[in-house]
Structure formats: C-alpha cells, structure tokens
Chains A and B, each alone.
Chain A
Amino acid sequence: MRWTGLALLLLSLLGVLAQSVPEDPRDEAKRQKQLLLQTSGILPSDLIVEQGKDLFYTKRGPRGVSLEGCDFGLGAGVLQGASVQLPRYFADTGKVEDLDSRIRTCMTQLQGFKPEEVKRSEVVPLAFFIAAQSDGLPIQVRIAAPAEREMYELGQKLFYARSGARDMGCATCHVSYVNRRSGVLPFSDVLGKDASMSHWPAYRYSNDQAWTMEDRIRACYGNLGHPQPDFYSPVPIALQLFMAYQANQAKAELPGFLR
C-alpha cells in the first residue's frame, strides 16, 4: 500500500513536472525546493539542521558535555564561518580534518565516545547544523601548513587518478564530460561552474537523503564499482581540500538542496 501511494504521488509529481521541465538540473532543484516550501512550509533539510542543533547542545557521552567546547578552526564554540574554511590543519590532532572528521574528533576527545560509537546518523545532522551557520559566506580554504600542502597534492592526484576495473576517476566525468550525461544523469561541473564544495552537506530530494561530501565521494566510487575509501580517512579529506580550494570565493549554500 505504501508503495502504491508513493507511486501515485510520484506519478502526480511527474504530471506537474511534465508541464514545464527546466533543462538545467540546477533550475530544477530550485523549483523542487520552492515546491516543497510551498506545500509543507519547511524543508526536510531544516529538520535535519534542528536535529543536529539538539545533538550539538545536549550534554552527551561518558563525560556528559555538549559540543560547545569544540574548536572547528575559529576557536571553541565559534560556528559562524567555520565550515567554509574546512578542511584545514588542526594543531591539537596534528591532522588536516574535514567537517565529518572534526565532529568525530570532538565526540571522542571532548565527549569521550569511543571511535566505534560515533554513528553516521549523528555525524550527518551535526554536520548539517554546523554547515548551516556558514550559509551565504564565501568558501575560504587555505593551503598554508605543510600538512595542508601535502593533502592538497594528494587530493589532486586522486581526483585525476584512473583506477579499478572501470579505469575511471573523478575527473573522467566531472571534468572531461561535464556537459554530457551517463544514463539519464547529468554530471556536475565539480571544479568549475558548480563549485560543488559550496553546497555540501546537502539534502538530495530525489531519494530523500542527507549526505555530507564524504558520503557523496564514497557513493561516486561505489557507482564505478570501485572499492570505497573509509570514512574520516585522508582520502575523502584530501579530495575535499582539493575541491574546496578550486571553489574558493564561491558563495556557500548550506545545507545544499540537490537532485
């Protein structure tokens, strides 16, 4: 029954879409966002941000503290503008960290969770909440510390790498074939016009998913039949630093709202 209902809803949505389907998927996403706002008055991503806000301010973990003491790069508890400057080097861990890994760092070091207790279902809403505090600001990542330089170079190499049984990598689709599509899906211009790092984490309306860029990168590899890099490992962090540097100055839309 649920599926029939869903199918009917989709069919009626298709009917609405058929009246005027914008060519550009970016325009289509904007239209879908408007439709959702009109019909329900709130976006699903707003609810995820609220969920993250609760998780952020609640005293949790073995040490019973909130995440207000967490330094996301601009000082403990400073959230505005923090996520548009990530990934960056953190002296306390001696590592370049992205939003996901920094949340995990604070959940383990500040709140006292064990690494295996850090759930994606908590990291993602937290990422949505923190990112939302940088909505509208320009992306501003730096390559200053030696560790940042090293990570940037790693990210660049991985972005252009060809590997696996399908001989592919990020750039094969997201640079060389930007104006084409695979199956019915058009490729975003990750380093150029779309400045993809400016709108992640994002809500994906086509399958009701809340994803951070780490989820997105892992899914890209998965779609290519390529083994996925681990969450919080240097691979997704390096790729994000490379992409974010290309997106510098782009105005952030956080959380993003995408197909």
Chain B
Amino acid sequence: MGERILFFILAIVAILSAGGVVFSRNPVRSALLLVLNFFTLALIYFTLSAQFIGALQVIVYAGAIMVLFLFVIMLLNLGSPDAMPSERDLKRPLAYLIGFGILVTLVVQSQALLYPGAPQASPEVGTARVIGLALFTQWAYPLLLMGVLLTVGVIGSILLARRRAS
C-alpha cells in the first residue's frame, strides 16, 4: 500500500510541475519547475528499480541540461515575463483539442495491453554493473554511434556559436 501512496504523490507532483512548465509565463520559472519534474521522475525511476538511470537522470538532466537552459536564458536576457508577450489566441483551442486527442488515444491504447500484474524484474537489473555489461557487449556498436552523434553535436554547436570573422 505504501508503494501506491508514494507513486500517487510523485505522480501528482510530476503532473503539476509539468503543467507549470507549460503554463508559466516566466521562462526561468518554467526551467525551475522542469528541474522539479526531473527530480520526481528520478524518484519514480528509483521505485521502478532503475537506480542507475535515476542517478543519471539527476546528473544529466537536472544537472547538465538545465544549467545549459538557464545559461541561455541568462545570455539572451529572456528572464522577464514581458520579454515575450502573451501567446496568440488563434492556435490555442486547436492545440488543446489535439492534446486531448493524444491523451485519449494513449490512455485507451495502454489500457488494452495485456501484461503480468506483478513486476518481474529483480532489483539488480537496474544496477550499473548489469547495464554496463549489456552496453559494452550486446549494444557496443550503437554505443559507438552514440559517441559519433555526440561528437557531431558538439562540433556543430561550436560552429554555430562562433562569430564569423569578417
């Protein structure tokens, strides 16, 4: 029972913070609510016996990626809410309609799944040892391709950010 109560609280916090990211007018507030959302998701990952992924979620998302976001907001001076006036009203109802359609489709389809009722995974599936072994044996070539992708991304962003010598 305690597990269900914990999940319910975490899910409420995650949904509320996600709504805050979307509906907040202030970009800095959106970024901080996104950090809260990432932390609650990391806790949910821990309850899913994914310890390694949960720790990586905190380090990579809440640490690295959010610092990047806040840095760009600071650099471009977008912190004040009136830097960007209110959204155009034309496409809002359409967006809510599409979102409602996506939500209904996802929920209905996921309820139709037939899966065992009890969790099957043992807790040591989520440890760094098991994941690392799989990553460096079975998934070695995709891992190398991921390295290439990240290198290309870094070089591309440096090229984009460099000022043209004129």
Say if A and B assemble together: no
